[in-house]
């Protein structure tokens, strides 16, 4: 006797707040494409529930939210040491942010400003929380 598999309700879509913190110096530039292909894209596909599509305009902030923090070294002055993007629910928009990172500087410094980048990421999680509470 063959018993058909019971089909239950579809699993709920993943809801997460995701912040990628990336060093924006020239030191990472040569490795970024490999990092993007083997780590970032699979992670985005996981949180998005599939590959991002150009027609994905995001929408409300009830689903996964993405943000990007790019940190540098002090030799990037007069530019800001840390750049961040406001949260978006569009995985496609997030990918355009990744593609727009310009890896420059860092050659004259012995350390990067990762602490500033991580503290900015922590502040973004507060923004995510406020956005979800407003829904």
pLDDT tens-digit series, residues 36-84: 999 999 999 998 888 887 776 555 555 788 999 999 888 777 678 899 9
Answer yes or no: is 21 within a domain.
yes
Answer yes or no: is 5 within a domain.
no
Please give the residue range of the domain that contains residue 28. Answer: 17-133
Q: Do residues 38 and 84 make contact, with C-beta atoms less than 8 angstroms apart?
A: no
Answer yes or no: is 7 within a domain.
no
pLDDT tens digits for range 88-100: 888 999 999 999 9
Q: How many domains does the chain have?
A: 1
Answer yes or no: is 31 within a domain.
yes
Answer yes or no: is 3 within a domain.
no
State the Cα–Cα distance between residues 130 and 107, nearest whole angstrom.
38
């Amino acid at each position: 006797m063959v018993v058909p598999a019971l089909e239950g309700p579809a699993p709920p879509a993943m809801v997460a707040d995701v912040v990628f913190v990336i060093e924006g110096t020239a030191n990472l530039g040569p490795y970024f494409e490999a990092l993007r292909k083997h780590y970032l894209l699979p992670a985005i596909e996981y949180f998005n529930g599939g590959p991002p599509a150009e027609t994905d305009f995001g929408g409300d902030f009830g689903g996964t939210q993405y943000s990007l923090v790019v940190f540098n070294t002090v030799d990037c002055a007069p530019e800001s040491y840390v750049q961040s993007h406001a949260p978006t629910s569009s995985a496609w928009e997030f990918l355009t942010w990744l593609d727009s990172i310009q890896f420059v500087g860092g050659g004259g410094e012995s350390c990067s400003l990762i602490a500033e980048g991580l503290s900015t990421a922590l502040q973004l999680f507060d923004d995510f929380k406020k956005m979800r509470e407003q829904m």
